[in-house]
């Protein structure tokens, strides 16, 4: 992806969050120069993978298959007693996060506002294949059973609990506008805990056609020589 395209989506997402009165921590708005001045105090940020994250999952078509998010908190080697994580995301109409599950992470996905979120679920088998069996999950603390791949519409305020090994795919419902999506989970590890059904890329390669407006999580090492330690 071009850096200019990433910058555009970061600015757009920042406006969307502001419109929904979701305020990020102060360092979310740091420039590259701010990071360079303050990086000595930010090891927990780097090791926890906190901050802006954007991916097109290797599709080259971010609007159709992609995701932008901000990781607000996460356990890491510097905070071993923190066993939880939190993210905020913006999902556009029809913009797909492809089918995947987690080996270790249980998570709640929450529609915090905006449009409707559509999520589809599948059980996984012993060889990590997708099964055709019904899936039972908790939605707002109430059990619900759906067919494999059956679309579930989540309007603002609704949430779903996804346990380990449950494949899930989600996207914004057409005509409803972008969705403000929250995630509360066990410690998050995007380097080793994502099992995508297809072989895809998680982090984008970036063409530096302009300076970064805000750094992505993957930029810390590139621009700051920070976060060299293996993230949790």
Write down the pLDDT at residue 229.
Answer: 44
Q: Is 67 exposed, middle or buried (0-12, 13-18, 19+ CB in 10 A)?
A: buried
Q: How far apart are CA 117 and CA 91, in angstroms?
A: 8
Whole-number pLDDT of residue 191: 83
Q: Are 88 and 173 in contact (CB under 8 A)?
A: no
Neighbouring residues of 138: CB distance < 8 A, sequence distance ≥ 6: 144, 160, 161
> Which is nearest to 103 in space by CA: 199, 202, 189?
189
What pLDDT does 230 receive? 37
Calpha distance 148→177 (Å, rounded): 26
Convert 104-118 into a string of H (helix), E (strand) and C (coil): CCCEEEEEEEECCEE
C-alpha span between 216 and 128 (Å, rounded):
31
Measured CA to CA, the distance from residue 190 to residue 231 in angstroms comes to 9
pLDDT at 231: 35
Mean pLDDT by 10 residues, the chain (232 residues): 96 98 97 96 95 93 96 92 97 97 97 98 97 98 98 98 98 97 95 88 86 96 73 32
Please give the pLDDT value at position 228: 53
Regarding pTM above 0.85, the answer is: yes
Q: Which domains does the chain have, with CATH numbers?
A: 3-224 (2.60.120.10)
């Amino acid at each position: 992806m071009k850096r200019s395209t990433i910058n555009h989506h970061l600015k757009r997402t920042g406006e969307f969050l502001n419109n929904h009165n979701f305020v990020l921590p102060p360092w979310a708005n740091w420039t590259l120069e701010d990071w360079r001045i303050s990086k000595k105090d930010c090891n927990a940020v780097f090791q926890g993978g906190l901050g802006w994250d954007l991916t097109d999952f290797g599709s080259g078509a971010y609007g159709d298959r992609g995701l932008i998010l901000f990781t607000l908190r996460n356990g890491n080697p510097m905070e071993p007693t923190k066993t939880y994580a939190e993210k905020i995301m913006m999902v556009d109409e029809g913009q797909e996060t492809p089918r995947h599950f987690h080996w270790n992470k249980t998570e709640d996905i929450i529609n915090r506002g905006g449009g409707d979120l559509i999520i589809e679920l599948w059980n996984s088998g012993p060889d990590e294949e997708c099964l055709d069996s019904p899936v039972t999950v908790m939605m707002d603390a109430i059990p619900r059973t759906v067919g494999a791949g059956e679309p579930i519409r989540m309007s603002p305020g609704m949430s779903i609990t996804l346990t380990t090994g449950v494949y899930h795919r989600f996207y914004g419902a057409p005509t409803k506008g972008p969705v403000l999506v929250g995630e509360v989970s066990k410690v998050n590890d995007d380097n080793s805990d994502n099992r995508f059904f297809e072989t895809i890329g998680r982090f984008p390669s970036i063409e530096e056609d302009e300076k970064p407006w805000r750094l992505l999580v993957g930029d810390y090492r590139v621009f700051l020589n920070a976060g060299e330690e293996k993230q949790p």
